[in-house]
Amino acid sequence: MHLQEISGTDGGQRFFLELKADRVKNWDVIHIDTDHYGEFPSYLKKFDIRGMAEQRVLAIPDGMIDPKSRNIVALGNIVDVVGYNRQLISSEKVPNTLEDFLKPEFKGRKFFTDIRPLAYAALVPELGISWMVDYAKKLAAQEPVWVRGFTRAYMAIMAGEHALHSFGNYNAIIRIARNDPKGSLASKVVEPVPVRIHEPQGVYRLAEHPYAALLWLEFQAGPEAQKIIDQYEPLKSSIYAPGSELEKLIRGRRISLKGWDNWEAYTQWVGQLTEAFGFPKAQLK
């Protein structure tokens, strides 16, 4: 077995262009670039993975499989939470709701906000686009410190440069916190919890080993692989995998899901909320 990582937006774009040019060779399972999600099904084997799962031919939870294409499997999720430095702000003072960030005490460079509103767009299914656009404008009026990317932001919070991030990837917080000697980096779950589909994959239409590819997808969806994902990614497992760390994190909570039924609309929501933010530029370098 050979695994190859395609990382970053540029890497995904290059792979998609090679796919369209029919230059992709020796691949059995391919990662689906979310920016071109609607175009990928034609490059995949027309396996009815959803049907196989429903008939228990494959042990893959139904929620991981696109019910429309039926041949794309999302093996993980991204959950967004509020990150903070517990030495600079106590848990009791960290916002418990979205509206808490709009309080006067959080105005004027008191928290980070990412210029790409990916987490906020994931709240649209639960709260509606009108409510979220209005909220994004009010949040921008709080004059946050605009950032791009969670690693740099959480490193700054861990170092004590800033106290709070309005919403960010839970897995990024945990990854950085593992190397935090002071144990200062912490997180709080705010509801509704933004949850996004992650790591969609499918069997390439020119796969040399298509049935082995199906078994590979099944393995990744199973408890052994999900545990590995939680340990080493970390915490990018699937909320549909019973007992996974993310399933336990959101269990019993109100969530808002960027899921299979709103994939294309999500891109539009990101654009609308970016406009509501005022097209900010990152201030943290």
Give the integer Cα–Cα distance in Å for 216 and 31. Answer: 13
**Which range marks the domain in which residue 16 is found?**
8-76+197-243
CATH number of the CATH domain containing 21: 3.40.190.10
pLDDT at 37: 83
Average model confidence (pLDDT) across the chain: 93
Residues 219 and 147 in one domain: no
pLDDT tens sequence across 15-36? 878 888 778 888 999 988 877 7
Residues 36 and 61 in one domain: yes
**Does residue 217 fall inside a structural domain?**
yes
Would you say residue 242 has pLDDT above 90? yes
pLDDT tens sequence across 51-81? 999 999 999 999 999 999 999 999 999 999 9
Residues 272 and 150 in one domain: yes
DSSP letter for each residue of 159-184 = TTS--EEEEEEHHHHHHHHTT-TT--
pTM: 0.92
Residues 125 and 190 in one domain: yes
Residue 41: alpha-carbon gap to chain centroid:
21
pLDDT tens sequence across 130-180? 999 999 999 999 999 999 999 999 999 999 999 999 999 999 999 999 999
Number of folded domains that form the chain: 2
**Does residue 66 fall inside a structural domain?**
yes
